[in-house]
Structure 1
Amino acid sequence: MFSSYDGLCSIGELAEHAGVTVKTVRFYSERGLLPEASRSSGGHRRYAPDALDRLRLIRSLRTLDLPVREVHRILDEDEAGEDGADAASGAGSVLEDAVAGQLRELGSQLKALRWREAGLRLVQECPPGERADRLRLVGAVTAPPTTDSLARFWRGWLPARMPAGAASAFLEVAVPQPPDDPQPAQVLAFARLHAFATSPCTGAEQPQPAAHRAAGAGGAAVLYAALAEAYELAGAHMRRGREPSGGEALDSFVDAYARAYGSRDTPEFRRMLAGQLAADPRIDWYWELASQVVTPPGDRPAPTPGSAHDWLCAALDGLATGNGGAPGVNRIPGAPPDAPD
């Protein structure tokens, strides 16, 4: 391919054949990506014919924005494959890992851009008098956002020394995952949720439900696992728009508490439980915002453990008292009143 007497070419000829600059060829050579075959008597680099294909591969990998160190590893693996070592090393694995890592990084960048766009639209579309407050809320959240503050909030709420596996299982359902492509209203809801979870009042020691004290750390793990099943059953009714009522969901709910209190599911226990749950501290504002985070505007609100708990409490109260009413609400100190967007 090269017309010189020795079949080699200069750095300028290689650059011309590859359609790049001499500076580019020199850059890759100096970083060990493009080895030279020899030097001329004047000390100029000389390249073998296979350097052209290697240079084109390097350019393709760099066009995909792969770092130089990853390109080096891919080329090393490619050479090992040519030497017959691919069976032992797993040919292509370095390239696959590098591409997968780049896709993850790109996905994170795209998610961040979507959150920034939705945040800007949120500020742009709100009334001028609300912009300062919304800027403060949105500015306190990273893009893309993390749920670390929400997880810390719940770790302060859960019983001390609760088994790690049980705590992690609860956090999976209690902490809403921010959508990849949010609407402005979802950005606002997450920002408000972050502000609530990190406020000084909620950051202090939080009041615990009576069932926490009755069950203890180990019993609480059993309690929350049983409640998760009851909430899932109630969520199915809620998604169908059904009113609170008795049935399997309520029975599962009551049984979870009966086991925590070392009691049996009797009419007397249900009356006691209805009163106890009505007096327990509540975090309705958190659950309302959590539902808004995961539900696009205009869709039916997604059931959350909090809304499922309220549905079951209403069913229990109606059956226990015969009045069909929902239990009273006692909020955690510092929780803001429910405010419309």
Structure 2
Amino acid sequence: MSPDGLWSIGELAERADVTVKTVRYYSDGGLLPEADRSAGGHRRYGPEALERLRLIRSLRTLDLPVPEVARVLDDEDGDVFEGVFEGVVEGQLRELGAQLAALRWREAALRLVRDCPPSERAERLRLVGAVRVPPNTDALARFWRRWLPPRLPAPVVATVLEQTVPQPPDEPSPGQVLAFARLHAFVSAPCGGGDRAQPAAHRTDGGHRPAVLYEGLDDAYALAAPQLRAGLAPRAGEALDCFVAAYACSGGVRDTPGFRRDLGRVLAADPRIDRYWQLAAEVFGPGHTTAGAAHDWLLAALHNQLNAAA
């Protein structure tokens, strides 16, 4: 340090382990004020400039834009720093999380292709290659929006999507990567979703109220799920009564033995998407009961009850 206790721009750059160009850039931008000028007009910096420069570098390492760095440096009470810093850290964590998810997906996909028989490799490459990395569920959500009855209230649609659309696992197995890729191909096929025949209860011209139906089915599936996980056979009970009541309330009719017989025939003739539920169960993983599995269990319970009555 010179006798006046100040550093030249080169000396400051050397101590901070940056280039002179970097120091000049931040000085010109007002982020690094100079303490004085030499007789020859050269910039001079005090020791406090070194700490300020180190803080600037740390903030820039977090990808904080220069204007935000200036706000932090000018913040005397620290409120701006705390708010900006927390936001930057959260943003960086989200970005890193997405990058890690993409890497884990790529790793599982590579293992899937590496370990499969050569005769299956081309198909698996095609399936996996059609899914963006990291994967998202946009195609699955579109499938359900086409499958569902029109003009459902947004909260009902959100609940259905939460139940039916499996999120890609954070640490997928090769089998889950394959199941998700096949599920993506299934919902993206030309015959997917809206091109299929719709269940009878979706047709509002028959007096059905689909929103009432789906709200009731949500409760029925929740009641049936523990019985499926316990391995119980389909049976009469609260879950089945709730299931039938959902259809009765949707149609504005009473739950009677005759209604149950008619409902059994109608549901048996409804179009099915068994392949979707099979693949979704693989993506969800063990321990998760899909809405499709709950529906089938309740339908079997209804048929068992009808057969017993007959």
TM-score, structure 2 length as denominator? 0.92
Structure 2: 5+ residue runs without aligned partners?
none
The residue identity in structure 2 corresponding to 1:59 is R
The residue identity in structure 2 corresponding to 1:73 is E
Query: Which residue is equivalent to 1:66?
Result: 62
Distance between the aligned counterparts of 1:42 and 1:140, measured in 2? 65
Deviation of 1:13 (Å): 1.3
Q: How does 1:35-50 map to 2 (within 5 A)?
A: 35-50=33-48
- SS state at 2:44 partner: strand
Distance 1:217 1:115, change over 3 A: farther
- SS state at 1:108 partner: helix
* Greater mean alpha carbon deviation, residues 4-13 or residues 228-237: 4-13
Match of 2:150 among 149, 156, 160: 160
The residue identity in structure 1 corresponding to 2:54 is R
The runs of 4+ residues in structure 1 deviating greater than 6 Å are: 215-218
Distance 1:217 1:159, change over 3 A: farther
- SS state at 1:176 partner: coil
Distance between the aligned counterparts of 1:91 and 1:135, measured in 2? 48
Q: How does 1:200-219 map to 2 (within 5 A)?
A: 200-202=190-192, 204-214=194-204, 219=209
Query: Which residue is equivalent to 1:7?
Result: 5
Question: Does the 8 A contact of 2:139 with 2:187 survive in 1?
Answer: yes
Note if 1:76 corresponds to 2:56: no
Distance 1:114 1:30, change over 3 A: farther
Match of 2:302 among 298, 316, 339: 316
Distance 1:43 1:131, change over 3 A: farther
Distance between the aligned counterparts of 1:196 and 1:32, measured in 2? 57
- SS state at 1:281 partner: coil
Query: Which residue is equivalent to 1:53?
Result: 51
RMSD: 2.3
Distance 1:30 1:179, change over 3 A: farther
Distance between the aligned counterparts of 2:7 and 2:106, measured in 1? 50
Distance between the aligned counterparts of 2:29 and 2:130, measured in 1? 42
The residue identity in structure 2 corresponding to 1:10 is S
Query: Which residue is equivalent to 1:330?
Result: none
Q: How does 1:127-138 map to 2 (within 5 A)?
A: 127-138=117-128
Question: Does the 8 A contact of 2:37 with 2:43 survive in 1?
Answer: yes
Identity %: 60
- SS state at 1:319 partner: helix
Deviation of 1:11 (Å): 1.9
Deviation per residue, 1:252-274 (Å, 9 max, x gap): 00100111122212221111111
Distance between the aligned counterparts of 1:145 and 1:223, measured in 2? 31
TM-score, structure 1 length as denominator? 0.84
Distance between the aligned counterparts of 2:217 and 2:108, measured in 1? 35
- SS state at 1:46 partner: strand
The residue identity in structure 2 corresponding to 1:80 is D
Aligned residues: 310
Query: Which residue is equivalent to 2:178?
Result: 188
Question: Does the 8 A contact of 1:226 with 1:252 survive in 2?
Answer: yes
Distance 1:31 1:145, change over 3 A: farther
Question: Does the 8 A contact of 1:246 with 1:319 survive in 2?
Answer: yes
Distance between the aligned counterparts of 1:148 and 1:122, measured in 2? 23
Deviation of 1:116 (Å): 0.9
Question: Does the 8 A contact of 2:208 with 2:250 survive in 1?
Answer: no
Distance 1:323 1:237, change over 3 A: same
Question: Does the 8 A contact of 1:215 with 1:261 survive in 2?
Answer: no
Distance between the aligned counterparts of 2:150 and 2:282, measured in 1? 29
Distance between the aligned counterparts of 1:131 and 1:214, measured in 2? 46
Distance 1:268 1:57, change over 3 A: same
Structure 1: 5+ residue runs without aligned partners?
325-341
The residue identity in structure 2 corresponding to 1:37 is A
Deviation of 1:127 (Å): 0.8
Query: Which residue is equivalent to 1:145?
Result: 135
Question: Does the 8 A contact of 2:201 with 2:208 survive in 1?
Answer: no
Distance between the aligned counterparts of 2:306 and 2:29, measured in 1? 77
Deviation of 1:45 (Å): 3.1
Deviation per residue, 1:187-242 (Å, 9 max, x gap): 11111111111101115533111111158798211110110110011111111111
Distance 1:323 1:199, change over 3 A: farther
Question: Does the 8 A contact of 2:202 with 2:208 survive in 1?
Answer: no
Question: Does the 8 A contact of 1:74 with 1:95 survive in 2?
Answer: no
